[in-house]
Amino acid sequence: MPTLYALKPAFQDRLRPLVDRLAAMGVTANSITMLAAALSIATGVAIAMAPGSRLLLLLVPLVLFMRMALNAMDGMLAREHGQASTLGMYLNEICDVVSDLALILPFAAFPQFGAWAVVAFAVAAMLAEFAGVLGVAAGTGRNYAGPFGKSDRALGLGVVAALCAIGFWPASIAPFVFPAMATLSLLTAINRIRTGLTGNTG
Q: What does the alpha-carbon distance between residue 83 and residue 91 come to, in Å, rounded to a whole number?
A: 13
pTM over 0.75: yes
For residue 201, the model assigns a pLDDT of 35
Consecutive sets of 10 residues in the chain, 202 residues long: mean pLDDT of each? 68 91 96 97 94 90 94 94 94 95 95 95 96 89 90 94 88 93 97 84 36
Buried b (16+ CB within 10 A) or exposed e, 90-114: ebbbebbbebbbbbbbbbbebeebb
Nearest Cα to Cα of residue 189 among 137, 150, 140: 150
Angle at CA of residue 33, ends 165 and 60, nearest 5°? 0
- Yes or no: say if 113 and 180 are a contact pair by the CB < 8 Å rule: no
Q: What does the alpha-carbon distance between residue 131 and residue 155 come to, in Å, rounded to a whole number?
A: 21
